[in-house]
């Protein structure tokens, strides 16, 4: 039997409010509460709750043959606690079945791994603590924000005690090699690396609504994979189901039928990532000296860093890490986490059409100035 | 004495200093016993009309067959140019431009001659159409009201002024608040230049807001120096005190630039000076308030210099927010490349904010308690700002004396000079 691994990301960043120069030093609340609440409630209603119910139903039907993984950002959990406790309860139920592996990640969905090793470690430790608290689990598999990975980051992750990490099967790194194997980190071979099959993941996440893509197509595609290839990893944002792709597209029906079809018509079974560590032999080294991600055609970091605004904002933010940490002030820490969310820097990206990167930068820097001011 | 005055904007609906100056001037004229009929393209209804009677050009209907108007139209034909002259386009105006564009293509001539015409009163895509229509209304209004002298502010209203003069034979005074060279550097719009020049030539007397502008008018427009008179702008004394506003939430010094973020205002020099100062004292904060076509470039430069945590942008401020900004400011900077007058430093000074201004500004001719530097001298600019931030003695003097100085620059006095100009024009006839 070969292996098919589904992993879903659950994340909602804190959206920042319009924070003017006049607010600096006076008002220390940075969030758009209204937007955060309606977004979380909408996503819970359209995605989290119906999708969780579907997954619970599949687990009830298929038992241990139904397995997958989920990763929760701290920001998503916090906002669920406040705005949609029901959705959180439903996730807890799902995790309690034992058929779902909860992954480790950064608490804030941050790019700390690229900026500051200590900040990165703290992010991971805080997330770990939260997973224990909420789900009573100890994640063993690490996946970084937007699958950001490099040899160094992998080595840092191994140092934190993980033996498996998930990342993007980026073409420019893999070359002729297939993502459908288990690899190891180039610096520390104790860390196994599992790669996202981006082609098939995107097929579901991006193309489903626009093109005719049926369960049969998926099954045929699985069957066309060379027999020696051992594992196929499909990583998708959980919000794709019901939010990104509206229920009317038939995505829930697709996901309802998919596990049965895979089990019945292919030689694949559904697994969780960490089951593979013992089971599969790594076939080679995944060598990524330059950091990669799962974003954009280039699969690089340009979504979050590289332009002057992003670099200034990131350098300023991480420049105050030591002070924040030394402060041991829980309120500061809370804001520090929210300000780290990768979305803040993606909103300053100038590569894409639309958006207001300049306004975002100004607003963010005003907040950051106030934040830094509070530590003085 | 009664004056028919043509303006383009009136508070609170303003985009720059012109409207503020007109408002102060009309108040000052009232104190000197001069009645003002003030024509604006679009009145919103919430303007302060205690000292002025506001005539809304949008309310004036025009009978095209009327002979005077017809004959006038033959003389304003030259303005029928399809180009989009957009002196100051802010983002807000830009958004509405497409809509205006659609309107403009419906036919210049037919809409100018429509019985009714709704002015936007802004500086948008069909500005030339509005200018032409405004001129038409100028001649129409001139026949309906009784007055002694005509006073037109800036090129947008010159054609209206000329039309009124030709219809009634009353003397015309045109007021140069800015020249095309101030707005565009050397790459001037020749159509605007031609209108400005024609207005000044047709006028009996020309008022310039500074000697700086007077020189430009004489040298670059070839106007006879004998008919060009400088009357410096003034500022309305503020009844407000800083105590009414929140002080800055920052514990550090705040240095502010406030104005349109365009070539004329020299925003680049402010950014570069900020960078120099931050190398020496990283605690100082800088604010760039306003908007304009160089805003994005400034944001890029700030982030490139990695000073974003100390350099803030507020967007366009008006009314109370401007004073609020001053209340949070320790040093105000106006590094204009070419500033006919520059009223903002006076507004800062009356709220006890020390200022640094460029020598290439009209305001530098009238104030003493300000540090004056050449706009291009970034080191000098940085030095002056740093000094005012750091050395308490000079800062204290400027706060106190500067306020006193500005409180004496009253519109009442400036308006008296303007009244003299009116008398001169009337007697000249």
| Per-residue pLDDT tens over the stretch B286-315 | 999 999 989 999 999 999 999 999 999 999
Last residue in a domain, options A227, A252, A286: A286
Question: Quick one: A276 and A312 in the same domain?
Answer: no
Nearest chain A Cα distance for residue B256, angstroms: 12
Tokens 């002694």 -> residue: B148
The CATH number of the domain holding residue A179 is: 3.20.110.20
Using a CB-CB distance cutoff of 8 angstroms, which residues of chain A are in contact with residue B307? Answer: 312
Name the closest residue on chain A to residue B301, using Cα atoms. Answer: A308
Q: Is residue A153 part of a domain?
A: yes
- Interval B403-411 mean pLDDT: 89
Whole-angstrom Cα distance, residue A209 to residue A213? 8
Alpha-carbon span A144 to A115, nearest angstrom: 13
Whether residue A347 sits in one domain with residue A261: no
Same domain, A54 and A170: yes
- For the CA atoms of chain A, what is the radius of gyration? 20
Asked whether residue A110 is assigned to any structural domain, the reply reads yes
CA B298 centroid distance within chain: 22
Does B194 score more than 70 pLDDT? yes
Kindly report the nearest CA distance between residue A117 and chain B, in angstroms: 22
Residue holding tokens 């003299």?
B420
Catalytic center residues of A: 146
Give the model's pLDDT for residue B246: 81
Reported confidence tier of residue B114, pLDDT bands at 50, 70, 90: low
Local confidence band at B18 (pLDDT 50, 70, 90 cut-offs): confident
Among the listed residues B145, B134, B152, the one whose alpha carbon sits nearest the alpha carbon of residue B25:
B152
Strand A192-196, strand A182-185: pairing: antiparallel
Model pLDDT, residue B72: 44
Residues B49-61, mean pLDDT to the nearest whole number? 75
DSSP classification of residue A48: I
Q: Which residues of A touch B245 (CB under 8 A)?
A: none
Q: Give the gap in angstroms from C-alpha A331 to the nearest C-alpha of chain B.
A: 19
Last residue of a domain, one of A286, A321, A352: A286
- Per-residue pLDDT band for B91 (boundaries 50, 70, 90) equals very low
- On whether the CB atoms of residues A203 and A213 are closer than 8 A, the answer is yes
Look at residue B358 and give its three-state secondary structure: strand
Q: Where are the beta strands (DSSP E) in B65-130?
A: none
Same domain, A250 and A355: no
- Sequential pLDDT tens for chain A (376 residues): 899 999 999 999 999 999 988 898 889 999 999 999 999 999 999 999 999 999 999 999 999 999 999 999 999 999 999 999 999 999 999 999 999 999 999 999 999 999 999 999 999 999 999 999 999 999 999 999 999 999 999 999 999 999 999 999 999 999 999 999 999 999 999 999 999 999 888 888 777 766 677 888 899 999 999 999 999 999 999 999 999 899 988 899 999 999 999 999 999 999 999 999 989 999 999 999 999 999 888 899 999 999 999 999 999 999 999 999 999 999 999 999 999 999 999 999 988 877 789 889 989 999 999 999 998 7
**A369/B309 touch (CB, cutoff 8 Å), yes or no:** yes
Domains of chain B plus CATH, in order, are 2-234+411-428 (3.40.50.2000), 242-407 (3.40.50.2000)
Task: Check whether residue A61 and residue A189 sit in a common domain.
Answer: yes
The pLDDT tens digits of the residues spanning B329-386 come to 999 999 999 999 988 999 899 889 999 999 999 999 999 889 999 999 999 999 999 9
Check residue B62 and give its pLDDT. Answer: 57
Answer yes or no: do B309 and A368 touch at CB < 8 A: yes
Domain assignment of residue A291, yes or no: no
- Whether residues A209 and A319 share a domain: the answer is no
Of A26, A308, A368, the CB nearest to B303: A308
Kindly state the tokens that stand for B101. 């564009």
Q: B151-155, B184-188, B304-308: which has the minimum mean pLDDT? A: B184-188
Do residues A218 and A346 both lie within one domain? no
Residue A318 lies in a domain: yes
Query: Does A30 share its domain with A157?
Result: yes
Indicate whether A225 and A336 sit together in one domain.
Answer: no
CA distance B127 to B142: 22
Stretch (H or E) spanning B35:
strand B35-40
Query: Are residues B299 and A24, on separate chains, in Cβ contact within 8 Å?
Result: no
Instruction: Identify from A20, A21, A317, A360 which residue to disrupt to test chain B contact, counting B C-beta atoms within 10 A and taking the largest count.
Output: A21
Is residue B193 within 8 A of residue B180, CB to CB? The reply is yes
Lowest mean pLDDT among A26-40, A356-370, B37-51, B249-263: B37-51
Residue A84 resides in a domain:
yes
**Res. B94: pLDDT tops 60:** no
Give the best residue of A18, A19, A20, A22 to mutate against chain B (max B CB count within 10 A).
A22
For chains A and B, CB pairs below 8 A equal 76
Q: What are phi and psi of B314, to 5 degrees?
A: -110, -15
- The tally of CA atoms less than 13 A away on the side-chain side of residue A92 is 16
Q: Which residues of A touch B (CB under 8 A)?
A: 20-26, 307-309, 311-313, 315-316, 358, 361-362, 365-366, 368-370, 372-373, 376
How many domains does the structure of chain A reveal?
2
pLDDT band at B88 (very low <50, low <70, confident <90, very high): very low
Look at A373 and B250 and tell me if their CB atoms are within 8 Å. yes
Q: Are A265 and A71 in contact (CB under 8 A)?
A: no
A280 found inside a domain: yes
Taking an 8 Å cut-off on Cβ atoms, the answer to whether A358 and B250 are in contact is no
> Are A149 and A142 spatial neighbours (Cβ–Cβ below 8 Å)?
no
The tokens for B409 are 């620059």
- Does residue B77 surpass a pLDDT of 80? no
- DSSP characters over A340-353: HBHHHHHTT--SSS
d(CA A152, CA A156): 6
Three-state SS for B311?
Answer: strand
- Return the pLDDT at B366: 93
Residues 6+ apart with CB under 8 A from B98: none
pLDDT score at A264: 95
Does A330 lie in the same domain as A186?
A: no
Chain A contact set for B285 (CB, 8 A): 369
CA dist A70 → A54, A89, A104, A143, A246 (Å): 15, 15, 9, 10, 21
Residues A365 and A349: their CA atoms lie apart, in Å, by 15
Answer yes or no: do B249 and A373 touch at CB < 8 A.
yes
In a domain, A302, yes or no: no
Residues A264 and A325 in one domain: no
In a domain, A265, yes or no: yes
CA nearest to B48, candidates B13, B8, B84 = B13
Q: What's the confidence (pLDDT) of residue A141?
A: 97
Q: What is the DSSP string of B265-293?
A: G-HHHHHHHHHHHHHH-TT-EEEEE---T
Residues A277 and A346 placed together within one structural domain of the fold: no
Taking the CA of residue B300 and the nearest CA in chain A, the distance in Å comes to 7
Which of the 8 DSSP states describes residue A22?
Answer: G
In this structure, how many other beta carbons lie within 10 angstroms of the beta carbon of residue A75?
Answer: 22
Would you list which residues of chain B are within 8 Å, Cβ to Cβ, of chain A? Answer: 246, 248-251, 285, 287, 295-296, 299-300, 302-304, 306-314, 321, 324-325, 328
Q: What is the pLDDT at residue A206? A: 77
Query: Which structural domain range is residue A8 located in?
Result: 2-286
């Amino acid at each position: 039997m070969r292996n098919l691994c589904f992993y879903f990301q659950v994340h909602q960043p804190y959206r920042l409010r319009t924070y003017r120069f006049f607010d600096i030093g006076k008002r220390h609340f940075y969030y758009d509460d209204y937007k955060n609440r309606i977004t979380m409630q909408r996503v819970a209603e359209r995605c989290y709750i119906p999708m969780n119910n579907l997954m619970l139903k599949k687990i009830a039907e298929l038992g241990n043959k139904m397995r997958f993984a989920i990763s929760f950002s701290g920001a998503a959990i916090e906002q669920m606690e406040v705005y949609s406790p029901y959705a959180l309860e439903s996730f807890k139920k799902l995790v309690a079945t034992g058929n779902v592996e909860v992954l480790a990640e950064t608490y804030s969905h941050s790019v700390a791994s690229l900026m500051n090793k200590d900040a990165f470690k703290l992010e991971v430790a805080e997330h770990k603590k939260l997973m224990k608290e909420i789900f009573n689990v100890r994640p063993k598999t690490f996946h970084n924000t937007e699958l950001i990975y490099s040899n160094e980051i992998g080595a840092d992750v191994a140092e934190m005690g993980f033996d498996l990490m998930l990342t993007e099967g980026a073409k420019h790194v893999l070359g002729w090699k297939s993502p459908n194997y288990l690899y190891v980190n180039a610096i520390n071979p104790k860390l196994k690396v599992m790669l996202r099959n981006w082609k098939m993941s995107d097929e579901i996440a991006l193309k489903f609504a626009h093109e005719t893509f049926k369960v049969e197509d998926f099954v045929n595609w699985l069957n066309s994979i060379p027999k020696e290839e051992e594992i196929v990893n499909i990583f998708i944002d959980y919000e794709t189901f019901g939010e990104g792709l509206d229920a009317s597209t038939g995505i829930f029906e697709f996901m309802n039928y998919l596990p049965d079809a895979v089990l019945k018509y292919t030689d694949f079974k559904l697994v969780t990532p960490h089951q593979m560590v013992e089971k599969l032999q790594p076939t080679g080294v995944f060598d990524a000296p330059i950091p990669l991600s799962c974003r954009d055609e280039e699969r690089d970091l340009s979504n979050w860093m590289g332009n002057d605004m992003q670099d200034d904002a990131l350098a300023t933010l991480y420049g105050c890490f030591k002070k924040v940490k030394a402060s041991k002030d829980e309120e500061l820490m809370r804001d520090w986490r929210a300000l780290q969310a990768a979305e803040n820097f993606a909103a300053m990206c100038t590569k894409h059409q639309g958006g207001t990167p300049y306004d975002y930068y100004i607003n963010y820097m005003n907040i950051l100035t106030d934040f830094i001011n509070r530590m003085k | 004495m009664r004056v028919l005055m043509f303006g383009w904007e009136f508070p609170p609906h303003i985009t720059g200093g012109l409207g503020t100056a007109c408002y102060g001037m009309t108040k000052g004229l009232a104190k000197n016993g001069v009645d003002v009929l003030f024509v604006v393209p679009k009145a919103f209804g919430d303007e302060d009309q205690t000292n002025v009677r506001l005539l809304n050009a949008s309310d004036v209907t025009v009978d095209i067959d009327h002979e005077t108007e017809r004959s006038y139209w033959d003389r304003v034909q030259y303005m029928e140019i399809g180009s989009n002259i957009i002196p100051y386009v802010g983002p807000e105006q830009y958004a509405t431009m497409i809509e205006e564009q659609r309107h403009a293509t419906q036919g210049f001539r037919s809409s100018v001659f429509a019985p009714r015409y709704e002015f936007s009163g802004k500086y948008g895509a069909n500005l030339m159409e509005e200018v032409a229509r405004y001129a038409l209304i100028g001649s129409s209004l001139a026949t309906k009201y009784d007055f002694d002298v005509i006073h037109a502010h800036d090129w947008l209203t010159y054609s209206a002024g000329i039309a009124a003069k030709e219809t009634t034979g009353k003397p015309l005074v045109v007021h140069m608040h800015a020249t095309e060279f101030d707005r565009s550097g050397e790459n001037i719009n020749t159509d605007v230049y031609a209108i400005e020049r024609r207005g000044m030539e047709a006028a009996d007397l020309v008022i310039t807001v500074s000697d700086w502008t007077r020189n430009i008018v004489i040298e670059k427009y070839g106007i006879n120096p004998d008919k060009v008179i400088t009357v410096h702008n003034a500022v309305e004394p503020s009844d407000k005190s800083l105590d009414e506003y929140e002080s800055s939430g920052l514990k550090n010094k705040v240095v502010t630039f406030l104005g349109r973020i365009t070539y004329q205002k020299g925003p680049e020099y402010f950014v570069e000076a900020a960078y120099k100062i931050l190398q020496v004292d990283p605690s100082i904060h800088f604010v760039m308030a306003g908007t304009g076509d160089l805003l994005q470039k400034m944001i890029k430069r700030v982030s490139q210099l990695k000073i974003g945590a100390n350099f803030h942008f507020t967007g366009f401020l008006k009314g109370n927010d401007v004073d609020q900004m001053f209340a949070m400011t320790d040093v105000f900077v106006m590094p204009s490349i070419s500033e006919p007058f520059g009223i903002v430093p006076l507004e800062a000074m009356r709220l006890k904010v020390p200022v640094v201004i460029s020598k290439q500004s009209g305001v530098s001719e009238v104030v003493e308690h300000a540090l004056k530097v050449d706009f291009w001298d970034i080191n000098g600019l940085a030095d002056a700002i740093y000094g005012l931030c750091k050395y308490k003695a000079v800062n204290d003097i400027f706060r106190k004396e500067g306020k006193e100085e500005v409180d004496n620059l009253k519109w009442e006095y400036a308006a008296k000079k303007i009244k003299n100009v009116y008398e001169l024009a009337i007697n000249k006839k």
